[in-house]
């Protein structure tokens, strides 16, 4: 399913390298590392009723990813927060908003792979859009031939912009008429879908793959924490695709899609729980969580005064 374009996004203002510009003028240099080699890190954040959910956790992961990739002169979190708040105020966005936060290694003096060519410092991009969850209430998945990277190749715990293997998995899913592609790890166990984490329930228990070849998503961790805090048994493990076929319920998690029920995998219908739905309970718990948690967006006056 291709998400419909929201006409409110036609004239959004985007933050790029210290400037707030109309989306048509939002550009980076052809010498920027994100253009030269996909050399950047990113986060997706969501705004609920004047609050940004898990903002500090996302910024910590952004900093960790940039540090792991040896970025130099990375802006601190106070600077990034102000850029985010400036962007939201410029667009008068305070609810139902998704933010794509990108930090590239920056502009190079000339084209090339060597990071020593990056002498201008990182490029920060804040792209905020009015965007509901990207998936319909129930989706179908297919198993992709593309394997998810593991630490032997490129550690999935680095939230980097080099997403070509995920994109190829999505292309396979598109051709199969499915919403997303399930990516296995090098040993054939389920890792994640091409853009979201995966869970299944069985006999009232919740299961999700180890975060070895999958991104340990922030929404994933929120669901695990909600299970533990509300006495729902939750386990991480190595799971084969057949365990997902025969589960009571399957669902995905992610900032872009929140929690989404999976109707079928590889043509096998997920038969559903014969008792109380664990997924329905988790959806309710997560909804309450988003209503109560998050970093309040300061007023424009407060944000300006903090400079």
Adjacent-strand bridge partners of 32: 107
CA proximity to 299, closest of 21, 86, 45:
86
Confidence of residue 5 (pLDDT cuts 50, 70, 90): confident
Q: How many CB atoms lie within 10 A of CB 302?
A: 11
Extract the tokens encoding 294: 């998050």
Q: Is the residue at 100 inside a domain?
A: yes
Q: Give the whole-angstrom CA distance, residue 265 versus residue 171.
A: 16
Instruction: Specify whether the CB–CB gap between 206 and 229 falls below 8 A.
Output: no
Extract the tokens encoding 220: 């994933």
Considering the domain architecture, whether residues 179 and 233 belong to the same structural domain is answered as yes
Considering the domain architecture, whether residues 149 and 121 belong to the same structural domain is answered as no
CA proximity to 263, closest of 275, 281, 245, 241:
245
Q: Give the whole-angstrom CA distance, residue 121 versus residue 253.
A: 33
Considering the domain architecture, whether residues 105 and 201 belong to the same structural domain is answered as no
285-304 residue pLDDT tens: 999 999 999 999 998 877 88
Q: Give the per-residue pLDDT at 149.
A: 86
Query: Taking 70 as the threshold, does the pLDDT of residue 146 lie above it?
Result: yes
Confidence of residue 9 (pLDDT cuts 50, 70, 90): very high
Considering the domain architecture, whether residues 78 and 171 belong to the same structural domain is answered as no
Q: How many Å from the N-terminal Cα to the C-terminal Cα in the chain?
A: 42
**Interval 63-77 mean pLDDT:** 97
Considering the domain architecture, whether residues 145 and 206 belong to the same structural domain is answered as yes
Query: Taking 90 as the threshold, does the pLDDT of residue 225 lie above it?
Result: yes
Which residue matches tokens 């990113």?
42
Query: Taking 70 as the threshold, does the pLDDT of residue 136 lie above it?
Result: yes
Proportion of the chain above pLDDT 70, given as a percent:
98
Poorest-pLDDT segment among 20-34, 41-55, 154-168: 154-168
Residue 184: which domain range?
138-292
Considering only CA atoms, give the Rg of the chain. 20
Confidence of residue 166 (pLDDT cuts 50, 70, 90): very high
Q: Is the residue at 299 inside a domain?
A: no
Q: Is the residue at 63 inside a domain?
A: yes
Confidence of residue 159 (pLDDT cuts 50, 70, 90): very high
Point out the domain boundary residue: 73, 98, 130: 130
Considering the domain architecture, whether residues 173 and 123 belong to the same structural domain is answered as no
Considering the domain architecture, whether residues 218 and 266 belong to the same structural domain is answered as yes
Considering the domain architecture, whether residues 69 and 143 belong to the same structural domain is answered as no
253: domain CATH number is: 3.20.10.10
Q: Is the residue at 6 inside a domain?
A: no
Q: Is the residue at 274 inside a domain?
A: yes
3-state SS assignment for residue 218 = helix
Q: Give the per-residue pLDDT at 203.
A: 93
172-188 residue pLDDT tens: 999 999 999 999 999 99
Confidence of residue 100 (pLDDT cuts 50, 70, 90): very high
Buried/exposed code over 278-296 (b: 16+ C-beta within 10 A; e: otherwise): bbebbbebbeebbeeebbe
CA proximity to 129, closest of 201, 23, 287, 235:
23
Q: Give the per-residue pLDDT at 26.
A: 97
Q: Is the residue at 98 inside a domain?
A: yes
Point out the domain boundary residue: 73, 96, 130: 130
Q: What is the DSSP string of 106-123?
A: -BBSSSSS-GGGB-S--E
Q: Give the per-residue pLDDT at 270.
A: 96
Query: Taking 70 as the threshold, does the pLDDT of residue 116 lie above it?
Result: yes
What's the total number of domains in the chain?
2
Q: Is the residue at 264 inside a domain?
A: yes
Q: Give the per-residue pLDDT at 1.
A: 62
Confidence of residue 307 (pLDDT cuts 50, 70, 90): low
Considering the domain architecture, whether residues 41 and 157 belong to the same structural domain is answered as no
Q: Give the whole-angstrom CA distance, residue 262 versus residue 252.
A: 7
Point out the domain boundary residue: 78, 103, 130: 130
CA proximity to 273, closest of 247, 293, 295:
247
35: domain CATH number is: 3.30.470.10
Q: Is the residue at 305 inside a domain?
A: no
User: Nearest 10 degrees: CA dihedral of 3, 150, 118, 161?
Assistant: 0
Adjacent-strand bridge partners of 221: none
Considering the domain architecture, whether residues 80 and 169 belong to the same structural domain is answered as no
Considering the domain architecture, whether residues 113 and 142 belong to the same structural domain is answered as no
Query: Taking 80 as the threshold, does the pLDDT of residue 276 lie above it?
Result: no
| Helix ranges (DSSP H) in the chain | 33-37, 55-68, 77-91, 164-176, 218-229, 241-245, 278-292, 300-305
Q: Give the whole-angstrom CA distance, residue 167 versus residue 115.
A: 25
Proportion of the chain above pLDDT 90, given as a percent:
88
Considering the domain architecture, whether residues 85 and 163 belong to the same structural domain is answered as no
């Amino acid at each position: 399913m291709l998400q419909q374009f929201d006409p409110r996004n036609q004239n959004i203002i985007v933050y790029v390298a210290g400037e707030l510009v109309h989306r048509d003028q939002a550009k980076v240099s052809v010498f920027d590392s994100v253009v030269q080699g996909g050399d950047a890190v990113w986060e997706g954040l969501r705004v609920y009723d004047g609050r940004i959910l898990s903002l500090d956790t996302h910024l910590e992961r952004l900093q960790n990813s940039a540090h792991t990739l040896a970025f130099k002169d990375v802006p601190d979190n106070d600077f990034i927060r102000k850029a985010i708040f400036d962007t939201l105020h410029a667009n008068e966005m305070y609810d139902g908003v998704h933010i794509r936060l990108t930090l590239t290694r920056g502009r190079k003096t000339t084209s090339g792979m060597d990071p020593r060519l990056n002498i201008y410092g990182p490029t920060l991009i804040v792209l905020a859009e009015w965007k509901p969850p990207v998936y319909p209430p129930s989706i179908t998945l297919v198993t992709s031939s593309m394997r998810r990277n593991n630490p032997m190749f490129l550690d999935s715990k680095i939230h980097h912009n080099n997403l070509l293997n995920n994109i190829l998995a999505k292309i396979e899913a598109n051709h199969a008429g499915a919403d997303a592609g399930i990516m296995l790890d090098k040993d054939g166990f389920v890792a994640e879908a091409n853009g979201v984490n995966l869970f299944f329930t069985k006999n009232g228990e919740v299961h999700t793959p180890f975060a070895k070849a999958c991104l340990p998503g922030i929404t994933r961790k929120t669901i695990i924490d909600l299970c533990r805090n509300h006495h729902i048994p939750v386990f991480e493990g190595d799971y084969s695709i057949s365990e997902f076929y025969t589960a009571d319920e399957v669902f995905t998690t992610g900032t872009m899609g929140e929690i989404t029920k999976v109707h079928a995998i590889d043509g096998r219908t997920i038969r559903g729980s014969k008792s109380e739905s664990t997924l329905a309970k988790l959806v309710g718990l997560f909804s309450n969580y988003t209503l109560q948690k998050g970093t309040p967006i300061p007023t424009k006056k407060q944000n300006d005064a903090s400079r």
